[in-house]
Amino acid sequence: MEEKDFSVQREAMVDYQLHNRGITDTAVLNAMRRVPREAFVPRELREFAYEDTALPLAAGQTITQPYFVAMMVEALNLNGGERVLDVGMGSGYLAAVLGSIAGEVYSIERIGELAEAAQQRLTSQGFTNVEVKAGDGSRGWPDRAPFDAILVAAGAPSVPTALKEQLKIGGRLVMPIGPDETAQELVRITRVSADEYESQDLADVRFVPLIGEGGWRRASPRPQRSFGRRRDSNEDTELAAQIAAVAEPFDSVDELPLDGLLERIGDRRVVLIGESSHGTSEFYRARQRITRALIEEKGFDFVAIEGDWPDVARIDHYVRHAEHPPSEWQAFARFPVWMWRNEEVREFVDWLRVHNADRRADERVGFHGLDLYSLYNSIREILNYLDEVDPQTAAVARERYGCLTPFQSDPATYARAALNPGYATCEAPVLKMLQDLQRRDQEYAEHDGERFLDAVQNARLVANAEEYYRSMFYGSRSAWNLRDTHMFETLEELLAHHGEGSRAVVWAHNSHVGNARATDMSRRGEFNIGELCRARFGDEAYLIGFGTHTGTVAAASNWDSPMEVKEVRPSLEKSYENLCHQTGRAGFILPLETGSDKRVVRGLSHPRLERAIGVIYRPETERQSHYFEATLTAQFDEYIWVERSRAVTPLTTASLRGAPDTYPFGL
Ligand code: SAH
């Protein structure tokens, strides 16, 4: 097989992920310029070797994100020639980086199979100064002690005593410490004298647990390991039969049975409806049927979707027959256009407009966007609004938002600029603008409540998007959390705006809607709107998820690449999807609440694999890029299954010919 040259990506990784983020130690930067990370990641993940993320390794372990490798090694203050202990060797990448700088490295890995593979990689890369052994590194390596530096790449409740004892006076130890197995603080301990240690906090991190005498005592019952539990295939066959017996079957989503579902939803306030891809027709159609029923039979007040506020505001203008004209730019024009600009959504939008037509303005059902990618369209909307109602403030706003203008073509570059020490970020001016607008509440709201809401939401979006782009650079966790926090705040604002007791339907991907606590996400420190709703509204929030076995899906191969209709691979064995597939049903609705069938709920409450397809689908690396672990019963209140699904139909110019000027999807 042809070997790809990764040197350009490696250089870029060092420049953007390390140097621009404040790693300055040239020994560390040079070592990471030399060690080929692609040789340390599993073969099928090589193309991701220089992504800004941790990667999965055999035996449920992970290879540390490059940025944290650099941060940890830098914190050891190595000058060359030192004797270093590396605990939790994993892939061996960190050992290789250490070996390129220090004199001798002693690496310990608990899992024999990993130690062996890592040893082979180091040998084939020509490292002769790294000694490897399999065993419990929380006890250190007494034969080789004392060490100038110790690095531990796994988390423990406290620093193992043995390691502290094996540190030379003046030596440094860097490791993640935290009271639970999923979240730690990266700390540096310096031994200042025989019995004195100084400690310094470096960063919030998530590492796998250090398992052993000086760490966590045994493999924890977290999903990651319990997943490995042998599940008898007979057990699954039985469970599938039980599911088939209790689930409410349907042949087509167009005839979705709604009575049971509506009854279970009762008078809850917020219903979040997911999707396990951004391009499956059945999910959109089922979601719309449910939403229509919620509106018609239960009087829900608005729908809020995973789309950008100003784009979705155009749909809102249209469906609520608003008087002021929508703005002129092309809404939903950014990648991925098919996600909302499709026949399925159009059908709902047209229905909603008719539904609203003969209702009083204040009784019309709204349609709103929760997402924050529309930084510049939002700025333009705020300026348009202020120009009209308050030209003086508009001038101030122009100046403040001017700070962000140079990055218009690629907001992500803002993040890079903002990283330069001494660069004045736009944080203060955009926050000031939001606060100013909020303070004018009374004054402007009298003018026009709806339009004022629109301006404030756009200002909130700009403030959160500014922070989002700035933090995007530090790794995906905080950026993801900011985005879902923004979605949640927007939802809360909307509930307040629509008045006391108002009720909302949310449409977003399963990964936003399903409680993050029940999935891998929480291990990475990520939460989502489903989790935030659960915390805020308790039982008043109802979470509905979707899944499918096979069929086609509209998705791209890369960000900004064209949409393709791709074949969805049949679901993997041992996944929830495969279990549902074994029911032999074309489709069903399955209640997962405790009140539901006990055996089914119990059977489904062990973690399994679950598939998520976003706007990108890469069948080639499906297991790594699209499956994660989750506990379905804790993730959703209800699960809707479609055995065989089809791609959504994107709107084309021809399909919109003759649409009125105000039509939200105008091309
Ligand atoms: N730095 C590594 C990251 C490995 S993840 C890399 O970049 O590849 C942490 C590793 O610590 C896992 O491989 C895990 O098996 C190992 N580990 C956990 N407890 C351990 C212990 N007590 N002794 C040695 N290794 C341990």
User: What is the per-residue pLDDT across 38-96, written as a single tens digit (0 to 9) for each?
Assistant: 999 988 888 888 888 788 888 878 899 899 999 999 999 999 999 999 999 999 999 99
CA dist 275 and 514 (Å) reads 10
Confidence band for 271, pLDDT divided at 50, 70 and 90: very high
User: CA 341 to CA 664: how far, in whole Å?
Assistant: 9
pLDDT surpasses 50 at 375: yes
Handedness of CA 131, 136, 138, 142 (dihedral sign): negative
86 lines ligand 1 (CB under 6 A): no
CB of 61 sitting under 6 A from ligand 1:
yes
Distance CA 437, CA 460 (A): 10
The predicted structure's pLDDT at residue 364: 96
CA of 133 to the centre of ligand 1 (A): 12
- Torsion (CA) 525, 528, 530, 531 in degrees, nearest 10: 30
Q: Whose CA is nearest to atom 11 of ligand 1?
A: 88
Over its C-alpha atoms, the chain yields an Rg (Å, rounded) of 27
In the reported structure, the alpha carbon of residue 25 is separated from the centroid of ligand 1 by a whole-number distance in angstroms of 25
Q: Which residues contact 215 (CB under 8 A, 6 or more apart)?
A: 138, 154, 155, 156, 157, 160, 209
Question: What's the Cα-to-Cα distance from 661 to each of 105, 153, 471, 650, rounded to whole Å?
Answer: 69, 59, 39, 20
Specify the range with the lowest mean pLDDT, choosing from 107-116, 251-260, 414-423, 532-541: 414-423
pLDDT given at position 420:
62
Q: How far is the CA of 136 from the centre of ligand 1 (A)?
A: 10
d(Cα 507, Cα 289) in Å, to the nearest integer?
Answer: 12
Q: Measured from the CB, is residue 154 less than 6 Å from ligand 1?
A: yes
In this predicted structure, the answer to whether residue 594 has a pLDDT above a threshold of 60 is yes
pLDDT (mean) for 598-606: 91
pLDDT at 301 over 80: yes
pLDDT, position 221: 43
Which atom from ligand 1 is nearest to the alpha carbon of 139? 22
Task: Find the 482 Cα to ligand 1 centroid distance in Å.
Answer: 30
| Residue 225: exposure state from Cβ atoms within 10 A (0-12, 13-18, ≥19) | middle
Specify the length of the chain in residues.
667
One-letter amino acid of 160: P
Residue 412, C-beta contacts closer than 8 angstroms, at least 6 positions apart:
469, 472
Pocket lining: 212 vs ligand 1, CB cutoff 6 Å:
yes
441 CB-near residues (< 8 Å, 6+ apart): 452
Query: Ligand 1, from 98, 108, 109: best to mutate by most atoms within 8 Å of Cβ?
Result: 109
Report whether pLDDT(411) > 80: no
pLDDT at 214: 92
Would you state the pLDDT for residue 225? 36
| Tens digit of each residue's pLDDT (9 = 90 or more) over 446-475 | 777 888 889 999 999 999 888 888 776 655
- Between the CA of 108 and the centroid of ligand 1 the distance, in Å, is 8
156 lines ligand 1 (CB under 6 A): no
HSE (CB half, 13 Å, CA atoms) of 382?
Answer: 32
Contacts of 135 (CB under 8 A, 6+ apart): 108, 109, 110
| 8 Å CB contact between 494 and 302 | yes
The residue-averaged pLDDT of 382-411 equals 84
pLDDT score, position 489 = 95
Closest protein CA for atom 10 of ligand 1:
88
471 close to ligand 1 (CB < 6 Angstrom): no
Going from the C-alpha of 222 to that of each of 193, 518, 634, the distances in angstroms are: 39, 10, 14
Q: Which atom of ligand 1 is nearest to the CA of 212?
A: 22
How far does Cα 147 stand from its chain's mean position?
A: 39
CA dist 365 and 216 (Å) reads 53
86 alpha carbon – ligand 1 mean position (Å): 9
Contact at 8 Å (CB) between 645 and 283? Answer: yes
Position 307 pLDDT exceeds 80: yes
Nearest-angstrom CA–CA distance, 667 and 654: 10
**pLDDT score recorded for residue 475:** 53
Contact 90, 40 (CB under 8 A): no
What pLDDT score does 476 carry?
53
Atom 19, ligand 1: which residue's CA is nearest? 210
The verdict on the CB of residue 308 being under 6 Å from ligand 1 is: no
Q: With a 6 A CB cut-off, is 66 part of the ligand 1 pocket?
A: no
Structure tokens at 476: 């995906």
Q: How confident is the model at residue 3 (pLDDT cuts 50, 70, 90)?
A: low
Return d(Cα 321, Cα 352) in angstroms, integer: 10
Which residues neighbour 328 within 8 Å (Cβ) at sequence distance 6 or greater?
Answer: none
Question: Ligand 1 in contact with 122 (CB < 6 A)?
Answer: no
Tell me what pLDDT residue 409 has. Answer: 73
The answer to whether residue 432 scores a pLDDT higher than 80 is: yes
pLDDT band at 120 (very low <50, low <70, confident <90, very high): very high
> Distance from the CA of 619 to the center of ligand 1, in angstroms?
29
Mean pLDDT estimate for the chain = 89
The alpha carbon of 26 and the centre of ligand 1 are apart by a number of angstroms equal to 26
Residue 90 Cα to ligand 1 midpoint, Å, equals 5
Chain Cα centroid distance, residue 597: 31
Percent of the chain with pLDDT over 90: 63
Tell me, in angstroms, the distance from the centre of ligand 1 to residue 313's CA: 49
Pick from 257, 262, 310, 322: which is nearest to 286 by CA? 257
Between CA 327 and CA 384 the distance in angstroms is 9
Any ligand 1 atom below 6 A from CB of 96: no
Model confidence at 595, in pLDDT bands (50, 70, 90)? low
User: Is residue 511's pLDDT more than 90?
Assistant: yes
Distance 521 CA to ligand 1 centre (A): 20
Position 148: which residue type?
A: D
Residue 135 DSSP SS3: coil
Distance from residue 64's CA to the centre of ligand 1 (Å)? 10
**What secondary structure letter does DSSP report for 629?**
E
- Closest residue by CA, ligand 1 atom 4: 90
Whether pLDDT at 577 is above 70: yes
Non-local (6+) Cβ contacts of 584 within 8 A are 240, 244
Residue 408 predicted with pLDDT over 90: no
pLDDT above 80 (res 117): yes
Ligand 1 pocket check for 215: Cβ under 6 Å: yes
> What residues contact 496, with CB distance under 8 A and at least 6 apart?
none
The alpha carbon of 149 and the centre of ligand 1 are apart by a number of angstroms equal to 17
Average pLDDT over residues 638-642: 98
Residue 228 has pLDDT above 50, yes or no: no
- 3 state SS of 43: helix
